[in-house]
Amino acid sequence: MVAEVEKRIVLRDKVAGRRRRMAFFLALPSLVVFVGMGVIPLALIATWSFWSFDPDSYWIKPVWSLASYAELLENGRATVLLRTAGLAALIATASTLLAIPAATVVGLLSRPRRATLLVALFTIPFFTSGLVRAFAWRLVLGREGIINKVLISLGVTHTPVEWLLFSDFAVVLGMVAAYLPFAIIPMVLVFARIEHSVIRASQDLGAGFWMTFSSIVLPLIMPGIIAGFLFVFVVAVGTSMEIQLLGGAGTSSISIMINDVMRVVNFPLSFAIATVVVIFLIVLIIIADRMLKLSRLFEDLGT
């Protein structure tokens, strides 16, 4: 009897061990890609940001210095860092405010078929050219654009409104349109985990829609709201093409600054900027994960 049980335990351990080994081998290819092509390059950049430029080889040499980090604070570079973060926060706020109603319509107010259609509509543009989507705003917002034509024909203005294009307004509009799905998807995932009976109960107890929404739904989807805000923020910090295509002359961002600094071969400085940004983003994601258990949002996918 005891021997039988022991045999089973041994068997179970064997199965579990084989399962663990299989998991390890199957995880290996993706880990090689992420560590080899993702983590190691970032670690290299972080290390080399403390090296110095070598005028002889037009590359860098292992002379340790903090000069590039001091340079970070010169020539208004700190302003660009802060401005990028501020712009990203503005875009994340606007996207979140638009995404809450959209996710509510998907998760609460639609039948399954329309919910699927809406999720598809919000996801499809992500897989199309971001470059073209940003560029298309030039047609809409330009002097000859559709908005100015409508405004002039309505008599609202006689001359085209100039600040629509090549301005922060155009950048914000272009980025919100581009990154809205990043805010909506985590909220939709959270809505799927809400027990319907909770909402029914609230209605049965006489609460109207707004009461139910503000005191039951909003607190329940708060992790999704914060995750959505963070996703948009993080992506908006890193992008450059909307600013390059729609922003005013001289508008910069972190990515544009890195490209510019690389063009004048100041390698240690561009590595320093990149390091600061990556560390900032990693800390942000780790804090959010600790607070909100972000990885739990995706748990439904794994079981």
Q: Which of residues 65-94 bind other proteins (CB under 8 A)?
A: none
Nearer to other proteins, 2 or 101 (CB): 101
162 touches 226 (CB < 8 A):
no
Q: Does 12 bind other proteins (CB under 8 A)?
A: no
Nearer to other proteins, 64 or 210 (CB): 210
Nearer to other proteins, 3 or 37 (CB): 37
- 122, 148, 186, 223: which one contacts other proteins (CB under 8 A)? 122
Alpha helices in 108-217 (DSSP H): 112-123, 130-141, 146-153, 168-191, 196-204, 209-212
Q: Does 295 bind other proteins (CB under 8 A)?
A: yes
Nearer to other proteins, 2 or 229 (CB): 229
- 250 vs 76: CA distance, rounded Å: 12
Show Cβ contacts of residue 172 under 8 Å, excluding neighbours closer than 6 positions.
Answer: 87, 90, 91, 94
- 230 vs 233: CA distance, rounded Å: 5
Chain positions 187 to 246 lying near other proteins, rule: CB under 8 A, are 196, 199, 203, 208-210, 212-213, 231, 234-235, 237-241, 244-245
96 touches 228 (CB < 8 A):
yes
- 91, 164, 165, 277: which one contacts other proteins (CB under 8 A)? 277
Give the number of residues in contact with other proteins, rule: CB under 8 A.
102
Show Cβ contacts of residue 226 under 8 Å, excluding neighbours closer than 6 positions.
Answer: 288, 291, 292
> Cβ 33 to other proteins, closest distance in Å?
6
162 touches 81 (CB < 8 A):
no
Chain positions 123 to 182 lying near other proteins, rule: CB under 8 A, are 123-125, 127-133, 135-137, 139-140, 144, 146, 173, 176-177, 180
Residue carrying the six token digits 């600061």? 276
Chain positions 17 to 46 lying near other proteins, rule: CB under 8 A, are 19-20, 22-27, 29-31, 33-34, 37-38, 40-42, 44-45
- 61, 75, 101, 279: which one contacts other proteins (CB under 8 A)? 101
How many CB atoms are located within 10 Å of the residue 39 CB? 11
